[in-house]
A and B are shown apart, each in its own frame.
Chain A
Amino acid sequence: MVETVLFVIFGLAALFGAITMVWARNPVYSAMGLMLTMFSIAVFYVSNSAHFVAAVQVIIYAGAVMTLFLFVIMLIGVDKAEDRSENLPIQRPLALALIALFGSAVVVAGRLAWTTGVHNPLDPVNGSVEAIGNELFRKWVLPFEVTALLLIVAAAGAIALAFFRDGDDAEVDA
C-alpha cells in the first residue's frame, strides 16, 4: 500500500519533471525538471530494493551530473531563451507522429505476454552495498576495471577539449 502511494506521487512527479524539461524555454528550468525526475527515479529504486543504485543515482546523477549541467548553462548564458518556431519544415509533425506511434506501440507491447528469463526462486533481491559489491568485484571485475579506463579517457578528452582556446585554432585543425 505504501508502495502504491509512493508510486503515484513520484510517478506524477517524474512525468511532470520530464515534461517540464522538454517544454521549458529556459534551460535552467529544464535542468530543474530533470533533477526532479531523477529524484523520483531514485525513490523507485528504493522501492525496488536497489538501495545502492538509489544512492548512486542521487549522488552522481542528481548531484554531480546535474551540477555540471548547471555550470555549463551558466557558462553559456542563462538568458538565452529558445523561441519555439520550428525552422526544419516537416520535423515537428513527423516527430509528433513518430512519438505517438512509439507510445501506442509501447501500449500494445504492454498488453502482450512476454517470455522472460528464468525466475530466480531465491530470496527477493537485496540491493545493499555489500551484495552489489560482491557481484561487482567477483563476477564483473574485468568490466569494472575497463570502466575505470573509460573514465580516465573521458577525463583526458574533456581536458583536451577545454585546453585549446581560440588562438590555438591551427593546432586543433591540424
Chain B
Amino acid sequence: MDLALSLIVLLPLIGMLILFAFGRRIGEPGAGIVATVAVAGSFVIALVLALDLFSGEGSVETVRWFEWLPAFGVEAELRWDQLSTLMTLVVTGVGSLIHLYSIGYMHGDARFGRFFAYLNLFITSMLILVLANNFALLFVGWELVGLSSYLLISFWFERDTAAAAGKKAFVVNRVGDVGFIVALMLIFSVFGSLGFDTVFDGAHNGELTGAMATAIALLLLVGAAGKSAQLPLYVWLPDAMEGPTPVSALIHAATMVTAGVYMVARTGAIFEVAPIAAATVAIVGAATALFAATIAMSQRDIKRVLAYSTISQLGYMFMAVGAAAYVAGIFHLMTHAFFKALLFLGAGSVIHGMSDEQDMHKMGGLAKKMPVTFITMAIAWLAISGMPPLAGFWSKDEILGVVFERGGLWQVLWGVGLATALLTAFYMTRMMWLTFFGEPRWDEGIQPHESPKLMTIPLVVLAGLSVVGGLVNTPFKLTLEHFLEPVFEAVHLAHAPEGSVAWILAAVSVAAGIIGIGAAIFRYRDRVPAEDGTGWRLLNNGYYIDDMYAGVFARGGKLGAAWLAFRFDVRGIDGAVEGVGSLTRRVGGWLRPLQTGFVRSYGLAVVAGAVGLLVWFLSRGGL
C-alpha cells in the first residue's frame, strides 16, 4: 500500500527525471510515450487502490515518507482519502489522455522531449498538492504547480507574448500565494501545527473563533483566487493561452486551476467556522462567473473563449464551495475537467487542422472536414450548456439547486448563476457555430484536415466521459455524495432541494440553456455580424481590466521603483553610506593629533587611565 501510493507520485517524477536527462536522445515519439506511460501508470495504480474505497471497505491511509519539519508538526506525508482519491483520478486520468494527445499535437517540435518533461513535472506537482497530508506539503505542491505552469505557458519562449504570459501567470500567482502563506502562518500560530488532522479537528472543536477564523479563511481565499483565476486575480489565465493547447487543457481545464477549489473544499472545516468568508467565496465565485461569461461572448480567438469560459466555470465551483456544497463543487470540478479538457483539445485539433489559425471569424464550415472533432466537441458544447443528460447538466444543476435552497440573499446568487448559464450556452453556441457551421471563411491556401488518431482518441474518450460522467451523482442516486461524505464529516454539507422544487429548478436552468443556444443560433445562423460596436469592444478587451492593472500596478510599480532607484537610493541609502564614511574621516581627522608618535605620550595616557580608574574605585569606597 505504502509503496503503491508513493508510486503514484514517483512515477511521473521518474518520468520527468528520465526526460530531463535523456529527453533529447529518446526523441520523438519515445519521449511522449515514456511520459504517457508514467502518468497512465499512476492512473492505473490510483484506480486499483481506489477500488477499496469505492466499495466502501477501504479506509483513509497515510504514507509517511520522512521527518521533514518537526518544528511545524509536519512530515512529508501523503493522505489517501476519498477527496484526494477523486482528485488523483481526475488529474492522472485526464492528464494521461492529454499526454497521449500531446504526442500528436507536439509532432515536429524542436523541444519535444523537454515538453513532456515539463508535463510530467506538472503532474508530479499536482499530485503532491492533492495528496499532501499537511499544509506545508500542500504549499510545496502549490508552488511547484506555479513553477511548472510558468515553464509550460512560456514553452514557446521565442515568442515575446508567450514569455510575457508565463511571467504574468507567475507574478499574479505570487500575489495569491502571499495571501496563502500568511494564512498558513496564522494557522500555525493558532494550532501550533500545519497537519491537516490537527488543524481540522481543532477548527471543528472550536479552537478557531470569530475574527481569526474569518481572517484565515479570507487569506486562503486570496490564495485560491490566485490559483483558480477568480476576481480580481484572473488576468493571467486568458494570457496563458499562449502556451501549447494541450497545456491549456491540462492546466486551465483539468488540474491547476482546480487547485483553489480543492483547497477550499479541503479546508472546509475552517470555512465552516467563518461564514462571512464562506459567503465571500460564493460572492466572488458568482461575480467571476458572470463577469467572465460576458467577456467570453465577445472573444474572436477560439482559445480565449475557452479561457474565459474556464474562469466562469471556476466561478461556479467557488459559488458551490462557498455555499458549503463541497460535493457539488468537486462534482462540477470533475465534470468540468472532462468537458473542458475535451473542448480545449478539440480547439487544439481545430487549430492544428487550420494550420495554427485561431481567429473564429476565419473559420466556419469545418463540421464536414473534421467530423470526429466536431462530434466530440458538440457533446462537450451541450454538456457545458447544461443539456440533460450530459455531465454538465447534473453538476451545474446541483450547484444552482444548493444555492437556491439556502434561501434569502443566496437566491440572488442563484439568479446570477442562472444568467451565467444562459450566457454560457450563448457563447459556446457562438463558438461552435462560428467554427463548424456556415460558410467557410478560411484564409487562402489553408487545407483543413482531421487530426491524426493519436489526437482524436483522447477526444472520443473524453466525450464518453462527458456523457456519462454526470451519472455518478444524480439526484436519483447520490453516489459521489455518499462517497465523499466521510471527508466532510466535520462540516454541514448543504444539500440540493428535493421533489418538485428540484424539477422546477432543473427545468428553469435547462430552459435558460435552450434560450442561450437558441439566441446564439438565431444571431449567427446565416452570417457573421460585424461585432465591433462599443459594447463589443468593451467586452472584447475584457472591460479593459488588463489595461487598468497595467496602468495602476505596473506603471505604479515602475514609478515607485524609479523613485526608489533614483531618489531614495541615491539620496537616502547612498547618502547614509557616504555620510558614515565622511563622518568617520572627519572624526579621524579630529583625533589624528592624539597619535603623536611619542611613546611617552602614550604612556602618559595609560597612566592617566590607570589613575582615573583608581580614583574612581576609591571614590566608591573600595572595589
Q: Determine whether A and B are in direct contact in the complex, meaning some CB atoms lie less than 8 angstroms apart.
A: yes
Stretch at the interface among A5-13, A53-61, A95-103, A118-126: A95-103
- In the bound assembly, the distance between CA atoms of A101 and B611 in angstroms comes to 7
Contact of B611 (CB < 8 Å), options: A88, A91, A105:
A105
Interface size of B as a range? 10 to 19
Q: Which residues on A sit within 8 Å (CB–CB) of B604? A: 91, 94-95, 98
| Residues A114 and B622 in contact in the complex (CB < 8 Å), given A91-B604, A98-B607, A109-B614 | yes
Contact B611 A98 (CB under 8 A): yes
Contact of A102 (CB < 8 Å), options: B601, B614, B621, B623:
B614
Q: Which residues on B sit within 8 Å (CB–CB) of A109? A: 614, 618
Contact B600 A91 (CB under 8 A): yes
- In the bound assembly, the distance between CA atoms of A114 and B618 in angstroms comes to 11
B205 CB to closest chain A CB (Å) equals: 63
Per the 8 Å Cβ criterion, residues 605-619 of B in contact with A are 607-608, 610-611, 614-615, 618
Residue of B nearest to A90 (CB): B604
> Interface of chain A, helix or strand or loop or mixed?
helix
B612 CB to closest chain A CB (Å) equals: 9
B609 CB to closest chain A CB (Å) equals: 10
Per the 8 Å Cβ criterion, residues 98-117 of A in contact with B are 98, 101-102, 105, 108-109, 112, 114-115
Contact A88 B600 (CB under 8 A): yes
- In the bound assembly, the distance between CA atoms of A88 and B603 in angstroms comes to 13
Q: Which residues on B sit within 8 Å (CB–CB) of A95? A: 604, 607
Contact of B615 (CB < 8 Å), options: A105, A114, A115:
A105
B590 interface residue, CB < 8 Å from A?
A: no
- In the bound assembly, the distance between CA atoms of A115 and B617 in angstroms comes to 14
Binary A-proximity of B316-330 (CB < 8 A = 1, otherwise 0):
000000000000000
B598 interface residue, CB < 8 Å from A?
A: yes
Residue of B nearest to A95 (CB): B604
Q: How many residues of A contact B (CB 8 A)?
A: 13
B614 CB to closest chain A CB (Å) equals: 5
A143 CB to closest chain B CB (Å) equals: 25
| Residues A102 and B622 in contact in the complex (CB < 8 Å), given A88-B600, A91-B601 | no
| Residues A108 and B618 in contact in the complex (CB < 8 Å), given A88-B598, A91-B601 | yes
Q: Which residues on B sit within 8 Å (CB–CB) of A115? A: 622-623
B611 CB to closest chain A CB (Å) equals: 5
Contact B600 A105 (CB under 8 A): no
Contact B608 A98 (CB under 8 A): yes
- In the bound assembly, the distance between CA atoms of A108 and B611 in angstroms comes to 13
Residue of A nearest to B622 (CB): A112
B25 CB to closest chain A CB (Å) equals: 59
Residue of B nearest to A102 (CB): B611
- In the bound assembly, the distance between CA atoms of A67 and B601 in angstroms comes to 29
Q: Which residues on B sit within 8 Å (CB–CB) of A108? A: 618
- In the bound assembly, the distance between CA atoms of A112 and B618 in angstroms comes to 9
Contact A88 B601 (CB under 8 A): yes
Per the 8 Å Cβ criterion, residues 30-69 of A in contact with B are none
A83 CB to closest chain B CB (Å) equals: 16
Chain B contacts to A: CB under 8 angstroms? 596, 598, 600-601, 604, 607-608, 610-611, 614-615, 618, 621-623
**Could you jot down 22 A-B contacts, CB within 8 Å?**
A88-B601, A91-B598, A91-B600, A91-B601, A94-B604, A95-B604, A95-B607, A98-B604, A98-B607, A98-B608, A101-B611, A102-B607, A102-B610, A102-B614, A105-B611, A108-B618, A109-B614, A112-B621, A112-B622, A114-B622, A115-B622, A115-B623
5 tightest A-B contacts by CB? A105-B614, A102-B611, A98-B607, A101-B611, A108-B618
Chain A contacts to B: CB under 8 angstroms? 88, 91, 94-95, 98, 101-102, 105, 108-109, 112, 114-115
Other contacts beyond A91-B601, A101-B611, A109-B614: 11, CB < 8 A? A88-B596, A88-B598, A88-B600, A91-B600, A91-B604, A94-B604, A98-B611, A105-B611, A109-B618, A112-B622, A115-B623
